[in-house]
């Protein structure tokens, strides 16, 4: 069903935004830390038109679901909550948003840790900006998108996903200091390319342990007398913390240090070693992995041509990312997926895009 078929008129405009995969810097963004995402080829497209009945009407092609907002005091659930949140934060910022027809279609995998929600938010805000000619830059789009997710989708997320969707591309890594928003565009490691494989185990951020981990980090920072765990750089400083706060904080401190090492320039081999260490930290200290992710990562790490691999995204299911020898992605992913699925799982290749 097209926009025309759903709303009986053609769209006025449209905009798109990509999903992202994070190579290093997991669960550091809400600790004011450092991250290294890159955009993926899959994207979300939002088409807009003016509604004639003073009500918002949202349609998702992926879910074949339509939601109408009849009461401005009612916050919808599901995909509509992200769109509604974007409209609300724009109005809170002082912009008058007319009633809209909103049509969404997406190739960003959902529940895989590749930021389908951020892609939806950024695409929605870009489309509204274009439709109404709003004076909002790309960083402000990301900040508004983050507010929408926190206040209307109930996920206490950091800024990384929205910044990556708004500013990153598929050819580079985006270093981001989430406290200062200092950014640096970096090339992919020499002789390497990125592979992303979905574990087949979906996860839902708002109902997972994500918010609990964030609360544990905030408690650890208070105990250490700092604004955020970003301000601790030496692991030994964490010894005064009780468990599990000590392990949670240890992951954040060591993960930030891994990102900063990459910033100084490392080989593909060393980048892969840092990814492997990141997964071990996420599994053991942060406890956000699951058996399927550990199995998939282990298979990747043992495969010739793979520099390193780790879970990506919040964890509790979702996808794994690997850095592999350039030109070998097809053979590696095909071999790994066959091995993984023979072990009783149901994985899927997400990146490179030739597998779409």
Question: Which sequence positions are flagged as catalytic?
Answer: 161
DSSP code string of 282-297: HHHTS----HHHHHHH
Residue 238 · residue 250 · CB < 8 Å = yes
Residue 352 · residue 332 · CB < 8 Å = no
Read off the tokens for 73. Answer: 């005091």
Residue 122 · residue 328 · CB < 8 Å = no
DSSP code string of 45-86: EEEEEE-SSSSEEEEETTTTEEEEE--TTPPP-THHHHHHHH
Q: Is 19 helix (H, G, I), strand (E, B) or coil?
A: strand
Taking CA 41 as the corner, what is the angle to CA 281 and CA 261, rounded to the nearest 5 degrees? Answer: 35
Nearest to 36 by CA among 323, 276, 259, 274: 259
Unique residue bearing structure tokens 């009986």 = 8
Residue 176 · residue 35 · CB < 8 Å = yes
Burial tier of 202 (Cβ tally within 10 Å: 0-12, 13-18, 19+)? middle
H helix count then E strand count, the chain: 10, 11
- Rounded Cα distance between 88 and 144, Å, is 10
Contacts (Cβ under 8 Å, ≥6 apart) of 5: none
Per-residue H/E/C for 185-246: EEECCCCEEEEEEECCCCCCHHHCCHHHHHHHHHHHHHHHCCCCHHHCCCHHHHCCCCCCHH
């Amino acid at each position: 069903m097209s926009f025309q078929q759903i709303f009986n008129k053609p769209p006025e405009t449209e905009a798109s935004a990509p999903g992202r995969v994070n190579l290093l810097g997991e669960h550091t963004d809400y600790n004011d830390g450092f991250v290294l995402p890159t955009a993926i080829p899959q994207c979300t497209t939002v088409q807009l038109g003016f509604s004639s009945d003073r009500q918002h009407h949202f349609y998702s092609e992926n879910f074949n679901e339509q939601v109408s907002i009849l009461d401005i005091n009612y916050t919808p659930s599901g995909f509509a909550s992200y769109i509604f949140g974007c409209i609300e934060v724009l109005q809170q910022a002082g912009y008058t948003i007319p009633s809209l027809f909103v049509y969404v279609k997406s190739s960003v995998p959902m529940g895989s840790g590749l930021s389908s929600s951020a892609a939806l938010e950024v695409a929605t805000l870009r489309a509204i900006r274009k439709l109404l000619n709003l004076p909002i830059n790309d960083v402000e789009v990301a900040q508004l998108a983050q507010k929408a997710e926190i206040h209307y989708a109930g996920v206490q997320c950091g800024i990384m996903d929205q910044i990556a969707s708004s500013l990153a591309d598929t050819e580079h890594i985006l270093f981001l200091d989430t406290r200062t928003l200092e950014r640096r565009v970096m090339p992919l490691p020499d002789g390497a390319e990125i592979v992303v494989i979905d574990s087949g185990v979906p996860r839902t951020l708002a109902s997972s342990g994500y918010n609990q981990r964030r609360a544990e980090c905030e408690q650890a920072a208070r105990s250490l007398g700092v604004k955020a765990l970003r301000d601790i750089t030496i692991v030994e400083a964490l010894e005064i913390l009780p468990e599990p706060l000590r392990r949670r904080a240890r992951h954040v401190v060591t993960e930030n240090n891994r990102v900063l090492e990459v910033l100084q320039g490392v080989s593909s081999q060393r980048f892969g070693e840092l990814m492997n260490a990141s997964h071990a930290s996420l599994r053991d200290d942060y406890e956000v992995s699951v058996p399927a992710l550990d199995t998939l990562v282990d298979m990747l790490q043992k495969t010739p041509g793979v520099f390193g691999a780790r879970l990506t995204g919040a964890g509790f299911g979702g996808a794994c990312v690997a850095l592999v020898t350039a030109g070998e992605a097809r053979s590696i992913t095909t071999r790994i997926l066959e091995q993984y699925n023979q072990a009783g799982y149901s994985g899927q290749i997400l990146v490179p895009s030739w597998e779409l």
